[in-house]
């Protein structure tokens, strides 16, 4: 700025009519200001401060410049140490704040820095109160610069908030990614076991924590989709094919989630699992019933009927199980009557466990073909040489269904099966139908010389059994008595049979005692009367009867 100079008052001119005084020349060059032979003082080096009006814009300009945080107000006032202090404070803030993190700047540091900036602004305004060199001049230029530079901290705040938001989003997405890895690892498990359930729960907790802590972030907006993906992963079929039974455990886990986790999300997942459960309950139970696993089919089917009675799957169940029962009943007359019978009986047992009148009616229907199934299965096992199994089936038919039309025939096959269990030749073929034998008859006498009752079974042209009471007073022989058996002067319990002549297989046994059975074969001729005496020895108590089962007379 130009420095104003104080001009001395104009010197009076020489008096008129007089010339310069004699003997004096012009004033020396060192005194440029001269007046009446007296030198004027030089101009002041700076403007006087007293009586000069102050310019408020200078203080305002310095204060605004300092609000930028760079000490530009001090620079404007040429206060160099203060400029350095402002720059150092800003550098400290930047060192603490950068790079921008998800947690931002510590609150205490931010407040301290803001207070520092305000103090520097007030300090600059205070320092600028005396007028500066040059007077008011062009104060609009630094004032305008101050206003413009005020945008610097404001812009820095906006930039830093954006950087902090991006850092937070990055951190939250990293957390979501870690949870995603847990879901992927659990999905690769062969089954929904405890380890897989723990991984899914950890991932779910991580998702919910992100949304709860930062609900307004973009990452929180992705949480619902990730939770849906977690649910789909946990309930997806595992391994080859669709296993409805395997889907039950994860669905039940989500259904029970509100018991362990509070919040709307747990309720939502539980409701979704409840909506999805009827289908696998139905599929699992029906598949087990189809695969003859009726012992485990009752649990899912009972749950379906109890918890979802109005579902379409519950409505369709009686018809579907009824069709399985009909197929099993038809199979009794096929090539595998025993398998069909087992299937029919297991279904009948299942129906008795399921709630509802429809299943009680199915159980009653399923009981009707059982006697026929017992007969056909027993006959099939006899022809297959499995005489013990045949015995079990046919004995059940005879004992539990004595009025059934197959009982007489079943009784003959049962006797032959019991003989064949000891003498396989007796099971070479089914015994003849009743009433088919004819011709000459043979008399066969039975006597019991033992303290045990005797049951005598025979099969040949005819099949039957006869029981002889135990002998009162008879004892166990110490050794084989030979011809001494049945030779005492007493009345031995006995029985007389008249049978068609032919080849017979016999079995002597005491059913309720721990004695061994005696089985043998013989050809009965009409020209003879056959006498059999049964006894027991001490040496072989488990062997009732004779080594030679009959004695010709």
In a domain, 220, yes or no: no
Residue by residue, pLDDT tens for the chain (553 residues) are 444 444 554 445 554 544 454 454 555 544 444 444 455 556 555 555 444 344 567 777 777 777 766 777 777 777 788 888 778 877 776 766 666 555 555 666 667 777 777 778 777 777 776 554 444 445 455 555 555 555 555 555 555 566 677 888 888 999 999 999 999 999 888 889 999 999 999 999 999 999 998 998 999 999 999 999 999 999 988 765 568 898 899 999 999 999 888 889 999 999 999 999 999 999 999 999 998 888 899 999 999 999 999 999 999 999 999 999 999 999 999 999 999 999 999 999 999 999 999 999 999 999 999 999 999 999 999 999 999 999 999 999 999 999 999 999 999 999 999 999 999 999 999 999 988 878 899 999 999 998 989 999 999 999 999 999 999 999 888 888 888 899 888 899 999 999 999 999 999 888 766 666 788 999 999 999 999 998 888 765 544 443 443 333 2
What is the model's pLDDT at position 101?
54
Question: Residue 420 domain-assigned?
Answer: no
Does 446 map to a domain?
Answer: yes
φ, ψ at 523 (rounded to 5°): -105, 120
pLDDT at 82: 82
For residue 515, the model assigns a pLDDT of 66
The CATH number of whichever domain residue 467 belongs to comes to 2.60.40
Residues 430 and 517: beta-carbon distance below 8 Å: no
Residue 464 lies in a domain: yes
Domain total for the chain?
1
CA distance 68 to 113: 12
* pTM for the structure as a whole: 0.63
Alpha carbon 547 to its chain centroid, in Å, reads 69
Decide if 10 is inside a domain: no
Residues spanned by the domain of 489: 439-540
266 vs 261: CA distance, rounded Å:
6
Q: Which of 170, 168, 181, 230 is nearest to 204 (CA)?
A: 230
Residue 189 in 3-state DSSP?
A: coil
First to last CA, the chain: 166
Of the candidates 213, 202, 201, the one whose C-alpha atom is nearest the C-alpha of residue 169 is 213
Residue at 236 is within a domain? no
For residue 538, the model assigns a pLDDT of 77
* Residues with Cβ within 8 Å of residue 490, at least 6 apart in sequence: 473
Would residue 182 count as lying in a domain? no
pLDDT at 97: 65
**Residue 523 lies inside a defined structural domain of this protein:** yes
Q: Rounded to an integer, what distance in angstroms lies between the CA atom of residue 160 and that of residue 157?
A: 5
Contact indicator for 508, 517 with CB cutoff of 8 Å: yes
């Amino acid at each position: 700025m130009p420095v104003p100079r104080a001009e001395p008052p104009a010197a009076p001119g020489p008096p008129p009519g007089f010339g310069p005084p004699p003997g004096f020349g012009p004033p020396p060059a060192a005194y440029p200001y001269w007046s009446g032979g007296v030198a004027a003082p030089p101009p002041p080096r700076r403007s006087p401060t007293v009586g000069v009006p102050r310019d408020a814009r200078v203080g305002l300009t310095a204060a605004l410049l300092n609000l930028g945080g760079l000490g530009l107000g001090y620079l404007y006032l040429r206060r160099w140490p203060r400029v350095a202090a402002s720059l150092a404070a800003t550098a400290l803030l930047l060192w603490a704040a950068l790079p921008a993190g998800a947690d931002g700047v510590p609150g205490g540091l931010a407040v301290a820095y803001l207070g520092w900036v305000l103090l520097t602004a007030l300090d600059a305004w205070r320092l600028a109160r005396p007028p500066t060199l040059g007077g008011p001049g062009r104060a609009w230029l630094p004032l305008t610069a101050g206003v413009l530079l005020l945008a610097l901290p404001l812009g820095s705040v906006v930039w830093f908030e954006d950087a902090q938001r991006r850092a937070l989003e990055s951190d939250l997405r990293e957390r979501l990614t870690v949870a995603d890895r847990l879901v992927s690892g659990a999905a690769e498990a062969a089954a929904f076991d405890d380890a897989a359930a723990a991984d899914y729960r950890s991932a779910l907790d991580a998702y919910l924590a992100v949304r709860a802590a930062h609900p307004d972030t973009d990452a929180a907006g992705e949480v619902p989709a990730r939770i849906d993906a977690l649910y789909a992963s946990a309930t997806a079929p595992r391994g080859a094919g669709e296993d409805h039974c395997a889907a039950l455990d994860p669905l039940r886990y989500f259904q029970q989630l509100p018991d362990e986790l509070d919040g709307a999300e747990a309720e939502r997942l539980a409701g979704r699992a409840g909506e999805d459960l009827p289908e696998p309950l139905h599929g699992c139970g029906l598949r087990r019933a189809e695969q003859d696993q009726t012992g485990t089919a009752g649990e899912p089917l009972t749950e379906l009927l109890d918890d979802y009675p109005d579902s379409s799957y519950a409505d369709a169940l009686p018809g579907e199980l009824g069709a399985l029962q009909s197929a099993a009943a038809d199979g009794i007359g096929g090539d595998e009557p025993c398998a069909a019978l087992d299937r029919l009986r297991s279904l009948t047992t299942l129906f008795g466990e399921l709630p509802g009148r429809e299943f009680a009616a199915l159980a009653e229907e399923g009981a009707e073909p059982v006697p026929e199934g017992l007969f056909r299965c027993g006959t099939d096992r006899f022809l297959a040489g499995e005489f013990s199994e045949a015995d079990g089936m046919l004995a059940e038919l005879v004992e539990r269904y004595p009025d059934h039309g197959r009982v007489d025939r079943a009784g003959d096959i049962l006797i032959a099966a019991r003989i064949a269990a000891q003498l396989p030749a007796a099971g070479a073929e089914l015994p003849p139908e009743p009433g088919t034998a004819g011709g000459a008859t043979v008399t066969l006498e039975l006597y019991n010389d033992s303290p045990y009752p005797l049951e005598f079974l025979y099969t040949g042209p005819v099949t039957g059994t006869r029981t002889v009471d135990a002998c009162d007073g008879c004892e166990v022989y110490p050794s084989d008595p030979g011809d001494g058996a049945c030779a005492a002067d007493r009345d031995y319990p006995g029985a007389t049979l008249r049978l068609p002549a032919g080849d017979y297989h016999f079995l002597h046994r005491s059913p309720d005692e721990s004695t061994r059975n005696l089985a043998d074969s013989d050809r009965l001729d009409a020209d003879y009367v056959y006498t059999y005496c049964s006894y027991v020895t001490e040496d072989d108590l488990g062997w009732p009867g004779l080594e030679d089962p009959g004695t010709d007379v």
